[in-house]
Amino acid sequence: MSLLVVGTMAFDALETPFGKVDRIIGGSATYAAWAASYFAKNISQVSIVGGDFPQAEMDALTNRGVSMEGVEVVADEKSFFWSGRYHMDMNTRDTLVTELNVLERFDPKIPDSYQGAKYVMLGNLSPSVQISVLDQLKEKPKLVIMDTMNFWMDIALDELKKALTKVDLLMVNDSEARQLSGEYSLVKAAKKIQSMGPKYIIIKKGEHGALLFHGDNVFSAPALPLEDVYDPTGAGDSFAGGFIGYLTRIDDISFEAMKAAIIIGSAMASFCVEKFGPTKLQELNMDNIDARVEEFVSLSNFEIRG
């Protein structure tokens, strides 16, 4: 099956309690495509970069089976740049600098060769860009998942609500779920968001794992307890990439399949945070991933005796 990934490819500068990096590869579509590439074989990337984005990084993704045809390169402009500082809990952060650069003019054109994608991941972008992508698809995908953030709730809530009517699954963190729904209880928040459109909601809770809601069904995935989280940047996008990459591979969107997919996503996120940037995601093999998934099995399985 084919997977369409839409999002940013960018540079990040980061400060965490473990160190500081100046200008490394980042972007939601970068992390998502890397994570998905271990599962899905046919990935179509949609993004925009400046002339400063390394060709080698694009080539590395091409070698993983990710098509770059839908990545617009604006030679005489700069790539999107974000700089932030993480707090001790690694779940909260301050944005220091946001330079939109090429992102300001991002108006993705979906190449003909990308048509017919069965699985679509809309990374965190302006809701109007997310809608524009969906409007260009000639065939209805089997599953569309969408990420967003509080920023869009603050400045583009109406567009965001319109986008929500067009997607199957929304992925947000707990504070975003609370802001979007106006409900403190995550159970109530998930119900309210389901009434806005998406039939599936994943609420990411960082070091506390993630919850999947669908109707009255709930699944709780643990996060792997780690000694050190070096850099949480991209963890959510790696999670999303692993999640939809796995679903693309097994081509199943049942609740049971999504439970397994969340574990895969959590495993990919647990790798992501072990090094700065997408480095760790770029050096994995399936043995590493299988072993990590086994850790999740022993972390969460139990047997009650009568």
Count of residues that interact with a copy of itself, criterion CB under 8 A: 41
Using the contact rule CB under 8 A, the part of the chain among 52-60, 92-100, 106-114, 255-263 near a copy of itself is 255-263
Query: 4: closest CA among 128, 132, 143, 129?
Result: 143
First-last CA distance in the chain: 44
Q: Which positions from 69 to 108 touch a copy of itself by CB under 8 A, shown as an x/- string?
A: -------------------xx-------------------
Q: How many helices (H) and strands (E) does the chain have?
A: 11, 13
Q: Taking a C-beta distance cutoff of 8 angstroms, is the pair 142, 120 a contact?
A: no
* Torsion, Cα of 133, 212, 90, 124 (10° steps): 10
Burial profile 131-170: b = 16 or more Cβ within 10 angstroms, e = fewer:
bbbbeebeeebbbbbbbbbeebbeebeebbeebbebbbbb
262 binds a copy of itself per the rule CB under 8 A: yes
291 binds a copy of itself per the rule CB under 8 A: no
Residue closer to a copy of itself by CB (options 68, 177) is 177
303 binds a copy of itself per the rule CB under 8 A: yes
- From candidates 64, 188, 192, 275, binder to a copy of itself by CB under 8 A: 188
Residue closer to a copy of itself by CB (options 151, 184) is 184
299 binds a copy of itself per the rule CB under 8 A: yes
Which positions lie near a copy of itself, rule CB under 8 A?
88-89, 184-188, 205, 208-209, 211, 217-223, 225-229, 250, 256-257, 259-260, 262-264, 293, 297-305
